[in-house]
Amino acid sequence: MQTRLARNAGFCAGVRRAVRIAEEAAGQGGRWYSLGPLVHNDAVVADLKEKGIIPVNRLDEIQAGEDVGIIIRSHGVPPEIIKQAQERGLGIKDATCPLVKRVHDIVALLRGDGYEIVVFGDAHHPEVQAITGWCGYQARVIAGVDETCKMTKVDKLAVVSQTTKDENDFYAVVAALAPMAGEIRVFNTICRATRKRQQAARELSSEADLILVLGDPKSSNTATLTRECKNTGVKTVQICGASDISADCLQGVSRVGITAGASTPDWIIKEVLDRMTEFEEKSQQELEQEKEQDTTASEESFAKMEAEMADFETPGRGDIIKGTVIQVQDDEVMVDVGGKSEGIIPLREMSLKDAGSARDLINVGDEIEVMVLKWDDDGTILLSKKKVDTQKVLDKLDEDYKEAKVIEGTITGTVKGGLLVDVGMVAFLPASHVEDGYVKNLEQYIGQTLQFKIIEFNRNKRRGSQIVLSRKELVAEEKSRLKKEFWDNIEEGQTRRGRVKRIVDYGAFIDLGGYEGLLHVSEMEHRRVEHPSDILNEGDETDVYILALDREKERVSLSRKKLLKSPWEIAQEKYHEGDIVEGTVVRIAPFGAFVELDPGVDGLVHISQMANYRVEKPEDVVSVNDRINVKIISIDPEDKRIGLSIKQAQDEKESKDVQEYLDSQNNPEAGAE
């Protein structure tokens, strides 16, 4: 018996996003509720409930208070529900599927433009109820073509669909509605993932004797999948999980196809596949027993006799033998194993990794080791290279486990409770063993190649992971090593390159490669800094000066200001005597006015330099915040003083204006321009 999983099955992006939002909320603390079940799957809802996400049917079931919030499920809600939650002071996390949210926007816009709206879907489904709410409940819900006859003709009609419905049914409804409107606008709002899932299920049905559809009985898209498979004529059974599979329904079945609704989690799919593996192995054992008990001369016996006559020891099931590749096709490889019969390796038995064609994996003439799976009736031996590779990988990992060796692997994806790691075969890395502390976002590790230790190894395990990994101890050891190295080499007065790890109100913690130091807000710039985030962002790299060390308390004080030029050093390079510059009046004294040229750099306009006439009070000439032109008449670097003159700046401007006027008189054509 063969088992095949549809290429598109299980959690859709919208459901996966909703579950992630709920799990993140649970990790933040407080009390969180979902308005109705987050997804239509009791197993997922029960799992979230264990983590603290409690489903309620109405907002008034929630007692408001601090750190209390509501999670809007993937199906969405009408707008008044969100308003009521806000009025009750509840925190809101909107997990509405983005594709469903798009339908909300469409119907709201269409209703505003005066269209009569038809929603193709189930009137009792929460997604449809939410959609109608976004157009003021002024929509007609139609479940099928037979209901279109109840419609009366209208001038302007718009049609949308529940995202999980069948596309062919949707267009049949549209065709029936078309004659009933002067103008009709059609929006195919069926989720692309839903369409792909249905198409994959139909394709799988054509190759199977039995289709198992995984999903909760309340799931609309699972019901649609079941109907699509039944319509192909193949025997179809909808189940909730592995415990629903009975030996009776597999009686006489050689090819089983498995698909799953959008709200079915990965772990349920894996349990079903594990269960089917048990049935496959049991079926194979029974087949072998029948053959052993069969006293008639079968084709297998004849093939074995022929092989023995040729001085060839007939390999039995489970034997590992060597062979030479004599033919490679896309879906299988033919191997000469030294007897009068050739061996065949199907593509699925070629490699531990998925491949589109056997031609990408092997060449004619290659010598390989293979395992005998069984003898076919025509004497052909069914072989597996994958099982040999698996044994070799398991042998190596078993040795690594017993010797507590550090191994390397690449993280390939996330699952419930952790990550999947490719170490030659798939291993499991629990979330609690990714680092030596809590990790909020596991997806950031996907694609990374890291080092691990094996903390659990069971090559005969049928359910769950045979190999469980951990980085926790390695990360702690590396941090300890870097910390020691840091304190052995750090000295006051050094300049180090660091990365901003955390920003707080009073400064920023900088990772110096093994230890964190504090860069206080007062040491960030020469000028006053209102908040550290005005200067730095988490993740930024910056040079810092080691200002002070407290080895006993293991504290490091840093400065960025020490490495920056002071405003006066910059002013010395930027300004020169005789320059005319613009500045802002920041303070007035009886003897003159202070003008800011740059932040932290002020100059003085003495009262005698304010005008070409006697000035009684500086306020008679300037006011605070005035932008004025001044001439630099002196710079004293030692005392950090700059002398300025409004009078001389005005004199120079007037002289320049007179000269430009005279030049224009001597050159009339230039003046005309």
Tokens of 292: 């052993």
Give the Cβ contact number of residue 113 at 10 Å: 9
First to last CA, the chain: 95
Residue 590 DSSP class: T
Tokens of 97: 């599927």
The single residue of 61, 66, 80, 127 carrying the catalytic annotation is 127
Is residue 447 classed exposed, middle or buried when 0-12, 13-18 and 19+ CB atoms within 10 A define those classes?
A: exposed
Three-class DSSP category at 88: coil
Amino acid at 536: L
Reply yes or no on whether 116 is catalytic: no
Give the Cβ contact number of residue 438 at 10 Å: 9
Non-local CB neighbours of 596 within 8 Å, separated by 6+ positions? 583, 584, 585, 586, 602
Non-local CB neighbours of 208 within 8 Å, separated by 6+ positions? 4, 234, 255, 256, 257
* 365, 325 Cβ separation under 8 angstroms: yes
Non-local CB neighbours of 296 within 8 Å, separated by 6+ positions? none
* 544, 517 Cβ separation under 8 angstroms: yes
Residue among 387, 388, 397 at smallest CA distance from 458: 397
Cα pseudo-dihedral 430, 6, 392, 339, rounded to 10: 170
Give the CA distances from residue 80 to residues 102, 103, 123, 233, in Å, rounded to whole numbers and listed in that order. 18, 17, 19, 45
> What span, in angstroms and rounded, lies between the C-alpha atoms of 133 and 122?
14
Maximal C-alpha separation, the chain: 132
Three-class DSSP category at 234: coil
Cα angle: 648, vertex 652, 655; to 5 degrees? 135
Tokens of 53: 């996400």
Non-local CB neighbours of 473 within 8 Å, separated by 6+ positions? 453
Amino acid at 317: R
Non-local CB neighbours of 255 within 8 Å, separated by 6+ positions? 1, 2, 4, 207, 208, 209, 210
Residue environment code for 268-292, b if the CB has 16+ CB neighbours within 10 A, otherwise e: bbbbbeebbeebeeeeeeeeeeeee
Active site residues: 127
